[in-house]
Each structure stands twice: as structure tokens, then as C-alpha cells.
């Protein structure tokens, strides 16, 4: 998982991640930190194996740990985080050293998945749909004390224990 760890250690990733951590310190609703990011990655990877989608593990984990990286800009500047996240992720992916680089095809898949993770398009790409579904499945709405105040639609809320 060398390439995934290179993303996590990237200075830009660290800067946005820490900023978000600070902003969500007292948040009663879903947070967007490593527990959520890795839950999403692991659910996606399990589903990938079960459905024999054939996606690369590092590509799945890269998309998952990057997908909410723009969230601090949504809190502060009201920029939808799938848009800022796609830009930040592109900058990070483009500046990885050659030994940790993702191919152009992999980068495109990851960026498309980040851009599409909040609202599923018609005919989404495979990784895009996997990230969308795993992101929602990672949330434990069925056991969340903030559920009554949460603005998520009933359709998005996860009401049972799944993978
Ligand atoms: Fe998420």
C-alpha cells in the first residue's frame, strides 16, 4: 500500500486533513476523518472482491481516503466538497514521485469517483458507484444519537448493519 501511504503523507493531504479535523472537533453529525475514510475503503474493497469487480486495491483506497478531502472548503467557503476535493486530489496525485505514481487511467478513475460520490449520475463508472455506495454504507445512522437532527434524506441514511 505504498502509493496510498504516499497520499496520506503528502503535505497537501496533511494540511487539508488537519484543517478538517479541527473544524469537526465539536461536530455531532458524521465526521470525515480516518475512521470514516477507512471504513469506506474497506467496505468498497470487500464489495469489490465479492462482486469480482477486479478493481485494484490501491486505487480503491486512494479514492476512499481522498474523497472528502475538500470538506473544509465546504464548511468555510460553501464550495461543494466533491468539486474542491477533485481538484485537491488531482494536485496530490499529479505530484507524487514516480515510484508512487498512479497511471493516467487510474487517476481519471479516482477523480471521477470523487466528483461523483455525493450524487449518483446516470451510468456511473464502476469505481464511482462503488465509492458512492460504500460511503453511505459506512455511516451508522441506525445507531446515531444525532439522527433526529440530521438533514440527510431517508434514502441516503443507512438503516441496518451491512458489510
Ligand atoms: Fe464520505
> Among the residues of 24-146, which ranges form H helices?
34-50, 57-66, 71-77, 81-94, 104-115, 126-137
Q: Which fold has domain 2-136?
A: Hypothetical protein af1432 (1.10.3210)
Report the percent of the chain where pLDDT is more than 70: 100
Q: How many angstroms separate the alpha carbon of residue 120 from the centre of ligand 1?
A: 13
pTM of the model: 0.93
Q: How many angstroms separate the alpha carbon of residue 71 from the centre of ligand 1?
A: 9
Q: How many angstroms separate the alpha carbon of residue 33 from the centre of ligand 1?
A: 9
Which residues fall within 8 angstroms of residue 12, CB to CB, at 6 or more apart? Answer: 88, 91, 92, 95
Asked if the model's pLDDT at residue 152 lies above 90, the reply is: no
Domain ranges of the chain: 2-136
Amino acid at each position: 500500500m505504498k502509493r496510498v501511504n504516499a497520499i496520506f503523507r503528502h503535505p497537501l493531504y496533511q494540511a487539508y486533513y488537519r484543517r478538517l479535523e479541527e473544524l469537526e472537533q465539536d461536530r455531532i453529525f458524521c465526521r470525515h476523518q480516518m475512521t470514516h475514510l477507512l471504513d469506506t475503503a474497506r467496505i468498497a474493497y470487500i464489495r469489490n472482491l465479492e462482486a469480482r469487480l477486479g478493481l485494484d486495491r490501491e486505487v480503491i483506497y486512494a479514492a476512499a481516503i481522498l474523497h472528502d478531502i475538500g470538506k473544509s472548503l465546504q464548511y468555510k467557503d460553501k464550495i461543494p466538497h466533491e468539486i474542491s476535493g477533485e481538484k485537491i486530489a488531482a494536485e496530490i496525485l499529479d505530484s507524487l514521485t514516480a515510484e508512487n505514481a498512479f497511471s493516467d487511467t487510474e487517476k481519471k478513475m479516482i477523480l471521477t469517483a470523487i466528483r461523483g460520490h455525493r450524487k449518483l449520475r446516470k451510468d456511473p463508472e464502476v469505481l464511482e458507484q462503488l465509492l458512492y455506495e460504500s460511503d453511505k454504507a459506512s455511516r451508522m445512522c441506525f445507531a446515531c444519537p444525532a439522527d433526529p437532527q440530521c438533514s440527510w434524506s431517508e434514502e441516503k441514511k443507512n438503516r441496518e448493519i451491512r458489510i
